[in-house]
Amino acid sequence: MTPSTPPPNPKLFGTDGVRGRANQAPMTATIATAIAMAAGSIGHQPGRRRLAVVGKDTRRSGYMLEAAMTAGFTSVGMDVVLVGPVPTPAIGFLVRSLRADMGVMITASHNPYHDNGIKIFGADGHKLSDEHEAVIERMVAGDDFPLASDDQIGKAQRLDDVAGRYIEFIKSHFPADLTLDGMRIALDCANGAAYKIAPTVLRELGAEVVAIGVDPNGMNINDRLGATNPARLRQTVVEQRAAIGLALDGDGDRLVVVDERGNVVDGDHLLGALAIGMHQLGQLQGDGVAFTVMSNLGLEQWLTSQGIASHRTPVGDRKVMASLRQHDLSFGGEQSGHLLFPQKATCGDGLLAGLQLLALLLRWDKPTSALSQLFPLLPQRQASLPLTNPGVLNQPTVVSAIAAMEAELAGHGRLLIRPSGTEPLLRLLVEGEDVAQVNRVIDRLTTLLS
């Protein structure tokens, strides 16, 4: 089987779209074209022109995949608007703004440059449901698409004013009675999709911005920078005496915060702070917050003490957004930095979240380091192991050993084991009241599953 041939297993979508090594299945031009043909065929109505918005981050392979998906969409009669490098949340915004039928973001998020991926949005600006993804997978596996007649092939064009539209949209969600005048902000754009937009937004709101990771060359996205690599941002904050450091990932949908002392603020403290801030302003709809199974028990316990309900979800911002919509809530997110405001945006938006956090700090008149003092987190350890044997968790000896560890933690902590939705890894999490016990259990788990 050649790398360009669709794999026999029709499973393409993971936790957040399709992802893999560029120019290897499933991230080849051939498969990307097939995905676009399948996606563009959903909801097709003869005689009605349909529109897809296609954006990308700054990876070199984005050019190849952009062209491939354009070919796929136009071949089934869809028109295409190409918007170039923009943050992932901009696609959700543009789909609705342009009244498009579909949106695509070509990105592998926080992964290295040699990976790439495809995230697909529906006409409502939200990421596709599992059901729609399954339909696309079946169509790609069947390699049977309703090609347009020669006079109905779609057209493609570039839209040049996208950045300006999105900048104004983001700025509109910063309170008009507040200003960032005089605030020095260190900003890390990971040489990714937000490298122009994010510094512009903060400067236009009055901030003094010290920007790093704003010189993409196609192969340096997330390279020792960004939300998953905040070491350089931490150094920059201290050296430049910044009030706060904001790190985005390669596609701009994730936010990691560094305080004025150079310490990374835990994602659960961000969730807790934003939740209580919205609660104080009467903006926390449903008096509840949705977050994933990865969040610390300390967050849940503190929210309960503040009269705020917790809604746990599986991992993935799509799962959190589904819970927010189901329970009619106005805020939620992931410990990893995906922060969701469904009344403002259709997916995680690192820049939008950063502005909400800056507004909160201004209203509280507190330094960024105060966020980490809001409530204690239970001791927690995480680990990632290569997933060489997918059936390992079903082996009787493994099942028995894990059950014994869960019994040991019962009432005092929890244990979570899950395959990664984006990489061939097994994710482990253990937390509890006793740090020695947590360390002991995670070490035993690592040995058991290695």
pLDDT at position 6 is 43
CA angle 338–342–346, rounded 5-degree value: 70
Taking only the tens place, the pLDDT of each residue in 172-228 is: 999 999 999 999 999 999 999 999 999 999 999 999 999 999 999 999 999 999 999
Topology of domain 265-350, per CATH? Alpha-D-Glucose-1,6-Bisphosphate; Chain A, domain 3 (3.40.120)
1 pLDDT more than 50: no
The pair phi, psi for residue 29, each rounded to 5°, is -60, -40
Taking only the tens place, the pLDDT of each residue in 4-31 is: 444 444 689 988 899 999 999 999 999 9
The strand pair at 115-121 and 156-158 is best described as: unpaired
User: 98-125: buried (b, 16+ CB within 10 Å) or exposed (e) per residue?
Assistant: bebbbbbbbbbbbbebbbbbbbbbbeeb
Q: Which CATH superfamily is domain 165-264 in?
A: Alpha-D-Glucose-1,6-Bisphosphate, subunit A, domain 3 (3.40.120.10)
- As a whole number, mean pLDDT of residues 248-270 equals 98
CB atoms near residue 406 (< 10 Å): 13
422 pLDDT more than 70: no
From 75, 109, 310, 372, active-site residue: 109
421 pLDDT more than 60: yes
> Residue 431 in contact with residue 381, Cβ under 8 Å?
yes
Question: 274: helix, coil or strand?
Answer: helix
Of 126, 346, 364, 151, nearest to 244 by C-alpha is: 364
Taking only the tens place, the pLDDT of each residue in 48-61 is: 789 999 999 999 99
pLDDT at position 7 is 43
* Tokens read off for 215: 């010189």
Is the pTM for the entire model greater than 0.85? yes
Percent share of the chain, pLDDT over 70: 96
In angstroms, the CA 359 to CA 338 distance is 18
CATH top-level class for 13-159? alpha beta
Taking only the tens place, the pLDDT of each residue in 157-170 is: 999 888 999 999 99
- As a whole number, mean pLDDT of residues 35-58 equals 88
Taking only the tens place, the pLDDT of each residue in 96-121 is: 999 999 999 999 999 999 999 999 99
Look at phi and psi of residue 190 and say left if phi exceeds 0, alpha if psi is from -120 to 50, else beta: left
pLDDT at position 411 is 76
Topology of domain 380-449, per CATH? TATA-Binding Protein (3.30.310)
* Tokens read off for 301: 């316990």
Dihedral sign for Cα atoms in the order 159, 339, 347, 25:
positive
* Tokens read off for 292: 């994933």
- When comparing pLDDT for 450 and 234, which is higher? 234
> Residue 250 in contact with residue 111, Cβ under 8 Å?
yes
The strand pair at 13-14 and 17-21 is best described as: antiparallel
Local confidence band at 44 (pLDDT 50, 70, 90 cut-offs): low
Question: 110: helix, coil or strand?
Answer: coil
Query: Active site includes 109?
Result: yes
In angstroms, the CA 163 to CA 59 distance is 18
Local confidence band at 47 (pLDDT 50, 70, 90 cut-offs): low
pLDDT at position 24 is 97
Place of tokens 């029709």: 10
392 pLDDT more than 90: no
In angstroms, the CA 105 to CA 53 distance is 8
* Tokens read off for 369: 């380091």
In angstroms, the CA 303 to CA 383 distance is 26
Of 369, 112, 392, nearest to 229 by C-alpha is: 112
Does a cis peptide bond (omega within 30 degrees of 0) precede residue 8?
A: no
- As a whole number, mean pLDDT of residues 28-41 equals 97
The pair phi, psi for residue 341, each rounded to 5°, is -125, 85
> Residue 274 in contact with residue 352, Cβ under 8 Å?
no
Of 116, 133, 144, nearest to 26 by C-alpha is: 116
Taking only the tens place, the pLDDT of each residue in 298-309 is: 999 999 999 999
Domain boundaries, the chain: 13-159, 165-264, 265-350, 380-449
Of 276, 279, 348, nearest to 87 by C-alpha is: 348
Local confidence band at 387 (pLDDT 50, 70, 90 cut-offs): confident
- Give the 3-state secondary structure of 220-257: CCCCCCCCCCCHHHHHHHHHHCCCEEEEECCCCCCEEE
CB atoms near residue 417 (< 10 Å): 17
Percent share of the chain, pLDDT over 90: 81
Environment class of residue 410 by beta-carbon count within 10 Å: exposed (0-12), middle (13-18) or buried (19+)?
exposed
Taking only the tens place, the pLDDT of each residue in 79-88 is: 999 999 999 9
In angstroms, the CA 292 to CA 414 distance is 14
DSSP 8-31: SS---EETTEEEEETTSTTSSHHH
> Which secondary structure element, helix H or strand E, spans residue 115, and what is its range?
strand 115-121
Taking only the tens place, the pLDDT of each residue in 261-300 is: 999 999 999 999 999 999 999 999 999 999 999 999 999 9
CATH topology match: 265-350 vs 380-449: no
- As a whole number, mean pLDDT of residues 125-145 equals 92
